[in-house]
Amino acid sequence: MSKIILNSELLNKAFDGRQIGRNDAYQIYQEAENNPFELYKAAEILRNKNKGSVVTYSRKVFFNLINLCRDTCSYCTYKAEPGDAKISMMSKQDIANLVLVGKNYKCTEALFVTGERPEQKYTEAKIWLGKNGFASTAEYLIHASEMALDAGLFPHTNAGNLTKSEMNQLRKTNASLGVMLENASERLVGKDMPHEFAPSKNPKARIRVLENAGELSIPMTTGLLIGIGESPFELIDSIFAIKSIHQKYGHIQEIILQNFQPKPDTVMRDAPRPEEKYFKILVALTRLIMPEMNIQIPPNLSPNSYSEFLQTGINDWGGISPITPDYVNPEFSWPSIDTVEKNCRNSGFELRARFPVYPEFFHMIDPSLKSKMFEISDSQGLVSKEYLT
């Protein structure tokens, strides 16, 4: 393998399969601030070695089940209040209708997203759930997942801090589950910080959810939110927190690295978005720290430059919907899948559709889910090209 000079000893450690330590990562970050390009190249080489030339995405439908939320994050525009025009409370019929649309568009993922336990704060949510026959949002998620799976979509649920029992129920129908760590620093839950009024974002609570999923052997998606007032060292510490969990349980299937975008209707509306160099350095460092991990950035949040991240070590674009918007970042439309495919091809990569669970984690999912996926998968465990034509 080629030798690259950033800090030769540290890069050689990565190339020789030895682990990059926390202090190593601090040092690499500091040196990359002056010249990041050798780090990018190192990350690119490690990605090529571990992931080859295939870049994946999940063809999804976004089910905005209920966007009331007991938490308030300083940067979030997803959350609605009772009476807001943007409020979403999907009925069973709404779900059934959208499932059919998703099938017509050859989607394979049903992404179910909700606010954090809205029934604990809002009477409106509790009454609405009761009218639909459920005592909690988690109960409704279990039913909605069954509806989607019965119709041939594969659910992935991101509903905040689910209990171990709730996750155990959802694993029967969900190919994978997700919860964003966002950051492992408790400083960000302090006074005047982004998570001051969001108790579910306490890193200890989020880490416990990830550990519970590991004990249940559930393929788990997690990730970091970059640019909300953290230090680069706090981000590096957060990557190592995820790595530690994965080393213990082996169930973290991907790390999403999401760049903060200020929203006009939020407390952090005047906060600057992270500089692209800062974002790219952290992406490349994640590849060095976890060489075999699936690393993802959302292409809609870097609309003019997402293809450049192929040179910093990523191998996945996450969910892209041909139907529904990104309700978490509604001002950023998904790029068309055809455009993403063209940009990948121009960069020397093949774009392939995957399921909400990566092939290397199929052994963790319910056998009935696996058999349904095999009906439309190829020999690599990806969605067959024939199914999408």
Query: Over the stretch 263-295, which tens digit does the pLDDT of each residue have?
Result: 999 999 999 999 999 999 999 999 999 999 999
Running DSSP on this structure, what letter comes out for residue 115?
-
**Position 141: which residue type?**
L
CA 174 – CA 156 distance, rounded (Å):
5
Helix (H) or strand (E) run with residue 15 in it = helix 8-15
Q: What is the pTM of this model?
A: 0.96
Question: Is a pLDDT exceeding 90 seen at residue 12?
Answer: no
CA distance 179 to 188: 17
Q: With contact defined as beta carbons under 8 Å apart, do 69 and 118 qualify? A: yes
Nearest Cα neighbor of 38 from 54, 56, 15 is 15
Give yes or no for a contact between 252 and 242, defined as CB atoms under 8 angstroms apart. Answer: yes
The Cα–Cα gap between 55 and 51 comes to 8
| Buried b or exposed e, range 25-40, using 16+ CB within 10 angstroms | bebbbeebeeebebbb
The pLDDT tens digits for 323-336 are 999 999 999 999 99
Q: Are 110 and 148 in contact (CB under 8 A)?
A: yes
Answer yes or no: are the C-beta atoms of 109 and 152 closer than 8 Å: no
Query: Using one digit for the tens of pLDDT, what is the confidence trace for 61-118?
Result: 999 999 999 999 999 999 999 999 999 999 999 999 999 999 999 999 999 999 999 9
CATH of 8-388, one of 3.20.20.70, 3.40.50.11750, 3.40.50.10310, 1.20.1270.10: 3.20.20.70
Please state, in angstroms and rounded to a whole number, the distance separating the CA atoms of residues 267 and 329.
Answer: 16
More confident residue, 16 or 149: 149
**Domain coordinates of the chain in residue numbers?**
8-388
Give the C-alpha distances (Å, rounded to integers) separating 290 from 11, 50, 67, 221. Answer: 13, 10, 33, 15
